[in-house]
Amino acid sequence: MVMLLPAMAGAQHLLVPMDDDQSNQLKAYGLTFNALRDGNKAEWFINYRGGAYLLPDLPDLRKRATLDGVSFEALDNGRLAIIRAEIAAGNMDAISLERAPKIAIYKPSKSPPWDDAVTLALQYAGIDFASLYDEEVVAGDLAKYDWLHLHHEDFTGQQNKLYLGFRDTPWFIEQRDVAMASARKLNFPNIPAMKKAVAEKMRQFVERGGFLFAMCGATETLSLAIAAQQVDIAGSFADGTPVDEAADSKLDWDRSFGFKDVHLEPSPFVNSMSDIDGHQVNVPGRRQPLGQFTLFQFSAKFDPVSSMLVQNHRTVIPDYYGVTTSFTKATIKPGVTILAQEEGAPWAKYLHGDYGKGSWTYLGGHDPEDPQHNIGAAPTDLSLHPSSPGYRLILNNVLFPAAKKKPLKT
């Protein structure tokens, strides 16, 4: 049920709350994004009512909010002034949102037998995006976009070692054959060589000012592929031999996002890539149980970027597995911002960092509303989870690039 205040004479603004008074948090992101896309300005009230949005009071926005079940409140200038004073006095801030970012998702043309939580989130919220894959990335198409998302993909070229359990399934054979065809078309000797070239293009995208958001296995394997530009870490997929024991020392972590001192998984018969992932969900005997993770609370005025990325109506969120579920703290570089972690555990869940002129954000796990996420499971129906706090973290990242950056306060 949509909750809104009666229309007021002289109302000029719409406040879109993001606390428990909001009936559909996820579609509220879409309302705000599309207002920006249509040329309107907006503000993000950080730490105020769950990270509320301020939009102009326009008939089209009211109509869309009503159709989408998004709660809003009409404000006149007097009421807005009171809110601004409250924000100025507390651990809150008003961030201007100026332009809807151009969004791309790295995904194959034919969907694999698992869902992509970001695709589901954008589709449910009504946010437009483009899809691209290896051939488009190698051709330089990333330059057309501001924001890039990666999910389950394995940039080492080992296809998440799914050959261990699925080598004879039609979908795995088809994915392998399509990847091999693309590698040949692009003049690469094999899939690992192509995927490392794609990873390098993504590194350059961030270095030049792009925003990259990754979940699940892409967080780990992208980092490995970038660090291993001069090292073969995927020989196990190509010929069944173990990774070179000296490969760890040859990885160049200065070039990569987020991690350091990583130990590669040497065996081609163990379904793990490295010790980055703390939960090791696919390795019997190593698998760690799920707990819950807590979002850090940052100073909105002194650390607005981190504050934007953790906006939520919940601070404690149930954990969920993925090919890479979490990030072992011992492998996280100094200077990386930990946005969420499980209390008392040796891993973090949510990371952010700057790189060159751009930035990257990693969120562990595959689907916030599907804790086990078995291959072949039906996609999550977000109409059943319109206020999912885990999915809110994904959509925070979509709107974060729209923010006008303020000078840091000292």
Do 223 and 115 lie in one domain? The reply is yes
Do 89 and 120 lie in one domain? The reply is no
Q: What is the pLDDT of residue 75?
A: 96
Q: Which residues, in sequence order, are bridge partners of residue 200?
A: none
Q: What is the pLDDT of residue 126?
A: 97
Q: What is the DSSP code string of 245-291?
A: TTHHHH--TTSSSSB-S--B---TTSS--BSS-SS-TTSTTTPPPP-
Q: How many domains does the chain have?
A: 2
Beta-sheet strands, E only, within 332-406:
337-341, 347-355, 358-363
Q: Does 256 fall in a domain?
A: yes
Say how far apart CA 14 and CA 205 lie, in whole Å.
Answer: 36
Type of residue numbered 250: K
pLDDT in tens, the chain (410 residues): 444 444 444 579 999 999 999 999 999 999 999 999 999 999 999 999 999 999 999 999 999 999 999 999 999 999 999 999 999 999 999 999 999 999 999 998 877 656 789 999 999 999 999 999 999 999 999 999 999 999 888 898 887 776 676 677 876 777 888 888 889 999 999 988 999 999 999 999 999 999 999 999 999 999 999 998 767 766 544 455 566 666 777 788 998 999 999 998 888 888 888 999 999 998 988 999 999 999 999 999 999 999 999 999 999 999 999 999 999 999 999 999 999 999 999 999 999 999 999 999 999 999 999 988 777 778 899 999 999 999 999 999 999 999 866 544 43
Q: Does 393 fall in a domain?
A: yes
Q: Does 187 fall in a domain?
A: yes
CATH number of the domain encompassing residue 348? 3.40.50.880
Question: pTM of whole model > 0.85?
Answer: yes
Do 135 and 234 lie in one domain? The reply is yes
Domain range holding 292? Answer: 103-402
Do 241 and 337 lie in one domain? The reply is yes
Do 88 and 121 lie in one domain? The reply is no
Q: Does 19 fall in a domain?
A: yes
Do 55 and 204 lie in one domain? The reply is no
Q: Does 174 fall in a domain?
A: yes
Say how far apart CA 72 and CA 70 lie, in whole Å.
Answer: 7
Beta-sheet strands, E only, within 250-324:
292-295, 316-318
Do 134 and 248 lie in one domain? The reply is yes
Of 49, 68, 97, the residue that ends a domain is: 97
Q: What is the pLDDT of residue 258?
A: 93
Q: Does 5 fall in a domain?
A: no
Q: Does 3 fall in a domain?
A: no
Do 230 and 325 lie in one domain? The reply is yes
Query: Residues 122-141, buried b or exposed e (16+ Cβ, 10 A)?
Result: bebbebebeebbbebbbeee
Q: Does 234 fall in a domain?
A: yes
Say how far apart CA 317 and CA 334 lie, in whole Å.
Answer: 25
Do 69 and 108 lie in one domain? The reply is no
Do 186 and 313 lie in one domain? The reply is yes
